[in-house]
Every structure is written in C-alpha cells, then in structure tokens.
A and B are shown apart, each in its own frame.
Chain A
Amino acid sequence: MILGKRRKNRDVEIPSASLSDIVFLLLIFFLVTTSIDTEKGLDLVLPPPGNVEIKIPKKNLANMLVNAQGQVLLDGQEINIRDIARIIKQKIAENDKLVISLKTDAETDYQTYVKVLDQLKKAGAKKISLAEPEQ
C-alpha cells in the first residue's frame, strides 16, 4: 500500500484572468438597462378622505378660482396667471399662516392648473388646499 505517494500538492486556484472580462460584460449589461430618469414634478398632498371640514379663519384664507377660460380670480379680483407668484408672495409676507384654497372648474385645462400650481410653488406657498371643481 503506497497511499501516501498519491498526495500531490495540486493548485486549486480559480482562474482569475478572465474575471475582468466577466465584470466588463456585467457592467455593460447594467449600463444598458439603467435609465436615469430626469423626470420631475410638482408635489402636492391631497386632502384626506371624507368630508372633514377644517375651519380656517377668513383672514388666513385666500380664495383662488380658475375658470374654464383660464382666468384666475383671487379674492374676487381677476389677476393674470403671471402675477400670481408676486401677489401670493406679498400676501404670505404679510400673513405667514395664509392658506390658499384652489378651486377649478370641471372644464379648466390641466395645463392651466399646473401653471397656477407652478406659480404658487414659485411664491413659496406651502399650504395649498384643493377644493373640488364645480360640476
């Protein structure tokens, strides 16, 4: 019995020469499948479900109405969409508890609504309340 002679010091290394090639392939795969989105949006928090009425003092409320033609009425005064940011900024500077109630018509264009929202964001308005459109 010469079992001891068979014990050889075999090299059991994994060949690592092609490792960088494998990693390269993986890299290319992930490079191709990744889509870095540049999509962005305007954020808003919707009112919670149910008809819970929250009482807001009249002096802290700014009523904003947008009709189907894209005209904007702020506290009974017609204003230009471009002027919203400036006027709201002034109002917030006077009263930082101001809540803007935004009400649209059912026929108002979505683009107009986004424009108005954009202006409110520009003015730094944080408290925007969404009222249901008139049917």
Chain B
Amino acid sequence: MKFTKKSKVNVSIPTTSMPDIIFILLIFFMVATVIRQYSGLKVDLPTATKIQKVPGSKRHIVNIWADRNHQVVCDDINVKKLSNLRSIVYQKLVEDPQIQIALKIDKRNKMGFVNKIHQELRKASALKVHYFAVPGGEF
C-alpha cells in the first residue's frame, strides 16, 4: 500500500481583497451615520399596526417629544412654553423646507394637549407629521 498521492491542497482563504471589503463597509457606515442624535424625553409610545418608515432622509426629520407631564422637547431645545414651539419649528422650516415632524407623544396624554401641539405646528406651517408608534396592539 502506497499513499504517495497525498496532494497538498492550499486551504487558506484569500485575504488580498479584504481591505476592499472593509472599505466598502466603512463607506456604507459613514453614509448611514447621522452623528447628531438627541436623547429627548422618556415617552411610552402608543401601539399601532399599520406603521411605516418615514420616507426620506433622517436629516430632514425634526423630533418632538411630549411626555405625560406635558413637557415638550423639540430636538435639543426644551420648550418651556408651548406657544414657543411655533417659532422654533418655523425657524427649522426656514433652514430646511423639507422637514417632517416626528411626534413622539406619550400614549397616556389627552387629545386636548396633542391638539395644542397640532395648532402650533399648523401655525408654523409644518404640516407633515408622523405619529410615532411601536408595533403591536390587539388587532
């Protein structure tokens, strides 16, 4: 019995193209990253089923948080008086006419308060709103 036919197969993974792969990954994450992130307020979002992603880039989204204690935060600005929200949003609209409003309102709030926010947004002519919700619900 002779086992001379044992050929040595090279089983190393080619690593020459690895930097290219890493480069592509790097470019992807660089494009996808938005450094500016606001922590906002802690809110308990309502549940819904037919939710959809906000169209367009994240750069054109203005976040408004409203918690159950009627505290309102717009991006990084703490809105002390609700009537100031109008000018803040209007300023943002002037800077970027494409903005959309992401409303993150606590589910325990009443519609009277939500409507006050609506009125402020209407006066600022920021009409495209998104009611943020989490998937779920009994339906």
Q: What residues make up the interface of A, taking CB atoms closer than 8 Å to B?
A: 19-20, 23-24, 26-27, 30-31, 33-37, 39-49, 82, 104-111, 113-115, 117-119, 121-122, 130, 132-133, 135
A30 near B29 with CB under 8 A, answer: yes
Report chain B residues within 8 Å CB of A104. Answer: 111, 115
Contact mask for chain B residues 11-22; partner A; CB cutoff 8 A; 1 contact, 0 none: 000000011001
- The majority secondary structure among interface residues of chain B is mixed
A109 near B47 with CB under 8 A, answer: no
A42 near B131 with CB under 8 A, answer: yes
Known: A20-B18, A23-B23, A35-B37. 18 other contacts (CB 8 A): A26-B30, A31-B29, A36-B32, A40-B54, A42-B131, A46-B118, A46-B121, A47-B122, A47-B127, A48-B127, A111-B47, A114-B47, A115-B48, A118-B49, A118-B50, A118-B139, A119-B139, A122-B50
Report chain A residues within 8 Å CB of B131. Answer: 41-44, 114, 117
Out of B109, B122, B132, name the residue touching A39 (CB < 8 Å): B132
How large, as a class, is the contact surface on chain B? 35 or more
Report chain A residues within 8 Å CB of B58. Answer: 37
Out of B26, B54, B111, B135, name the residue touching A107 (CB < 8 Å): B111
B132 near A41 with CB under 8 A, answer: yes
Out of A19, A43, A106, name the residue touching B130 (CB < 8 Å): A43
Q: Residue B53 at the A interface, CB < 8 A? A: yes
Out of B53, B108, B128, name the residue touching A109 (CB < 8 Å): B108
A113 near B52 with CB under 8 A, answer: no
Report chain B residues within 8 Å CB of A27. Answer: 22, 25-26, 29
Report chain A residues within 8 Å CB of B130. Answer: 41-44
Sample (9) of A-B pairs whose CB atoms are under 8 Å apart: A30-B26, A30-B29, A30-B33, A41-B51, A41-B130, A41-B131, A43-B54, A114-B46, A118-B133
Report chain A residues within 8 Å CB of B135. Answer: 40
Known contacts: A20-B19, A37-B58. The answer to whether A110 contacts B46 by CB under 8 A is yes
The 3 closest A-B pairs by CB, nearest first: A106-B112, A30-B29, A41-B130
Known contacts: A48-B122, A48-B127, A108-B110. The answer to whether A40 contacts B132 by CB under 8 A is yes
A66 to B123, CA, bound (A): 25
